[in-house]
Structure 1
Amino acid sequence: MKAPASVPPAAASMRRGRAGVRRFGLFVLAFVVMGIVAIASLVRFTGRVERAEAPPERAVADGSAPTTAPSGLVIPVQGVRPDQITDTWGQSRANGARAHEGTDIMTAGGTPVLAATSGTIEKLFDSGDGGHTIYIRSRDGKWRYYYAHLAAYAADVREGMRVGAGQHIGFVGDTGNAGAGNYHLHFGVARMAPGERWYQGTPVNPYPLLAGRGANR
């Protein structure tokens, strides 16, 4: 009986090489499969993220330059010109129970609301009268700007944040006592004394500041 022939060194080396290639190929295949599984999991996770429903009409500011009144204030509703604003200061409200202390700017629901000037958001407040509201104090602390009946706040708006003139802060709506479908921004301005809080101050007529008549501030 003959003894088995020994394997030549060169052939053994080739076999070891082929085995190494197979192991490397299996490693690469496993890595690719793991990557595909990870990506699929990420897609599934992203798909489950809930997104806030956009307000009606327009969902975001369109990037156009804001309109600035001669007083230096930005018209606080995107796309509205000074000559399109009506003076509603002092009009009767609540069947004569009170006088209107602001200017109503009529426009489509969901239109972006812009900061009239730079300052700090002092309060985000929901009330029966004003609905979703924003109170912004000017940088010098002497003025307070009030935005009411908003459909929603802009995504990044929060109390204590600084805003620049023309920055998108909310959307025109009909919340509070505006009346269903009566879309408009109630814009108010108040002169603030030292120590007065966001809900205080002496209201002044915003119309001259927005329409360019009697624009001293």
Structure 2
Amino acid sequence: MSAEEAERLVRQLAVAVPVEAIDPGPKGSDVGDEQDRRVAALGRLGAALEVEELMSEAAWRQTASAAEETVWLGASLADLSAITGRSRQAARKRWPELGGIYRRRKWLGNHVDDIAYMAGQLASRADDLVPSGDHDTFMKLIRQLREGLRRCEADFAPEAQEPTDPAARWRALDDLVNVTMREIIEMAGKPATPEADFALHGARGTLTYYDHATAESAEA
């Protein structure tokens, strides 16, 4: 989009924004219907300012979304620095959440198979990990775990199709570990078999490793 096209869009939007202008009253230098013209111009200014604010907010959100997506796809703050022409510190200050996303994505990228294995172990031993309390909630989490595991296996299969949202698989994998597995571990009852104990212990180890690697103090 050229600057002229953007300006034309702003004018079109401003026409659609209802702004009630305040009539400051007549001026001694008014010529003809200049007071009415002035009120109309003030209304257009108010509408233009409203559009300016809305577009600025929309552009800010779009930029933040694009920056987040690039990091989920493996970009570092140094990569963002190269495209923005600013320092990594500037990128970190503008988008403070990106450091955490970068650390999560980096860890996830190196442990896809490990996550799938431990998620599979938890899922296969679910009946021996049911807590004495809320059975239905626990089994709902297990269903979510199995769905997440199936998605992980499909998303990261060598023959996987090009996704509509390339970053979605990493967000889904992060949810599998950081949300579903975490909740299952916290809720699980005492393992009824050695195999279930191994599955729960291994899942705890995976989550501990995740937490350590993605902590704010970890190198980004």
Instruction: Please indicate, yes or no, whether the TM-score normalized by the shorter chain is above 0.5.
Output: no
> Highest Rg: 1 or 2?
1
Q: Which has the higher strand share?
A: 1
Q: TM-score, normalised by structure 1?
A: 0.31
Q: Which has the higher helix share?
A: 2
Q: TM-score, normalised by structure 2?
A: 0.31
